[in-house]
Amino acid sequence: MAYVKDLSDIPLKPLQETFVDDPTSLEEIYIDELIFDLEHKLKNINKLSIFHAIYILSQSVQNIIKLQSDPVLFQQFKNEQLANHEFTRVSSHSLLRSHTPPLSPPLKFAKLSQPIYPQYSFKESTPDSLANEEVTPDSIEEQEPKEPPYIPIKQLVKELKLDPVSDPVTNLNLDSFKKEVLFNRDSKRIEQNQHLLKIFNLVKVPPLTIDEFLLRIKTYSSSISVSAYIHTASMMFKLCILLDIIPLSPVNVYRFILASLRCSTKKLEDVYQKQKSFATVGGVSTRDLYRLEVGFLYLCNFKLVLGEATLNKFLNQDFVDLHTFVKENYQS
């Protein structure tokens, strides 16, 4: 048995996160402890429980709503975040933050209000009408299948490369982000976004809180993963703060959560809930859910998938900065 004369001679293990049970409710999560773990990278996208993910999403949208209620503080925080992304060309022009667009008829330019399935005339599609239809030479040529070119297997194997991509599209890319910011400042793009925002507005605020709404989704749509919730939180931060194209409010936040979660789930998950069931959980019709999804896809320019580095940056930096800024500038 080795004898140690001094306690300083005892080798100490490096600091590690102690074992704790995952929270079973939102009340068991303490925001200061969570911020500490995220800031010091003790937690990342792979070390979060489902309640952690729901809590982060809820806190993100609530802090964004609170921040956007003050245009001066919002612009200050936005400038700081753009500076962190090495983007200093911040225009003084900004969308109005205090009011969301009023309710209006369904969109015409995006054709979101049109039926999903076209209307067919049964008189024109009867067997007799099809049999009497004249076939032109052009249609005969179009119906003839063309044989695709044959590529030998050896050539495919030889040219196939499985090396990791040096700069995948899901990673952080400064040039791509700058182009996206400038793209969303185009006047035509701003006008289109203003039309898209109208479909997310409710007539009045629902009687349940954001936490209760997310817990309802978690209860009846339990297959949604941690990644989908964090994707939604990161997308809302990007669209509301960095790109500044969504004025979030208590009137539209519920539908934005619903649309973003549904789009992320369809893109990320192998198995997801049927459209009608999820629409019932969210309190909307199936048709409205489709419209919300399409509207959200156009708002985010169909860029849904974020890489692990991007999600961890949101958790360890963006979410921490948002919470700290709101805590320092607003009285709870």
Per residue in 286-304, pLDDT tens? 999 999 999 999 999 999 9
191 contacts 297 by C-beta, under 8 angstroms: no
200 contacts 256 by C-beta, under 8 angstroms: yes
| 85 pLDDT tier (thresholds 50, 70, 90) | confident
Q: In the CATH hierarchy, which top-level class contains the domain 26-110+174-325? A: mainly alpha
Average pLDDT, the chain: 81
Among 54, 48, 45, 62, smallest CA distance to 26 is for 54
Among 57, 72, 100, smallest CA distance to 226 is for 57
Per residue in 152-180, pLDDT (tens digit) is 888 878 877 777 766 666 666 777 888 88
Three-class secondary structure of residue 161 per DSSP: coil
**Domain regions of the chain by residue span:** 26-110+174-325
Could you give the C-alpha distances from 55 to 30, 49, 113, 210, in angstroms and in order? 10, 10, 34, 10
Comparing 19-33, 198-212, 254-268, the range with the smallest average pLDDT is 19-33
Across residues 271-285, what is the average pLDDT? 93
The secondary structure element, H or E, covering residue 259 is helix 253-268
| 271 pLDDT tier (thresholds 50, 70, 90) | confident
Across residues 323-327, what is the average pLDDT? 96
pLDDT at residue 286 in the model: 96
Alpha carbons 279 and 262: distance in angstroms, whole number: 10
Among 281, 288, 233, smallest CA distance to 257 is for 233
Across residues 68-92, what is the average pLDDT? 82
Model confidence, pTM: 0.73
Q: What is the DSSP string of 169-225?
A: TTS--HHHHHHHHHHTTSHHHHHHHHHHHGGG--SS--SS-HHHHHHHHHHH-TT--
pLDDT at residue 92 in the model: 39
| 266 pLDDT tier (thresholds 50, 70, 90) | very high
Exposed/middle/buried for 262, CB within 10 Å: 0-12, 13-18, 19+?
A: buried
